[in-house]
Amino acid sequence: MSAKGKKLEVFNHFKKVKGAFLCQVEESGDVCGAKPADNTLNLKRYLERHHVDIFKSVDKAKTSQTTASNATCKQETSKFFTVKKLLCQ
């Protein structure tokens, strides 16, 4: 899957309505509904500050995804030099 086709975990907790992202995290039986500024970093910061438990699960998913993708990569070498690109399966 290409990088453009991947959906970031953080977007699972927001709903886009009329160009703005609304927080969909439930607190005490109600949906939060806050509208943080709409870029990925701000959405992550919002979760980190206001919904810590959700942020931890988002951050954990990102870490495990990165670790899994790096585990299948290896560096191509030859007899005379090391090629600088990584070969990923």
For 55, other C-beta atoms within 10 Å of its C-beta total: 19
Please state the rounded mean pLDDT for residues 42-68. 81
Confidence check: pLDDT of 49 > 90: yes
The more confidently predicted of residues 79 and 46 is 46
Average pLDDT over residues 70-76: 58
Give the number of other CB atoms < 10 A from CB of residue 10: 21
Closest of 12, 1, 2 to residue 44, by C-alpha: 12
Number of domains, the chain: 1
pTM confidence score: 0.60
The number of C-alpha atoms within 13 Å of 45 and in the hemisphere containing its C-beta is: 8
Contact 61, 44 (CB under 8 A): no
> Range of 68's domain?
3-88
The residue that leads in pLDDT, 42 or 38, is 42
- Supply the pLDDT for residue 60: 77
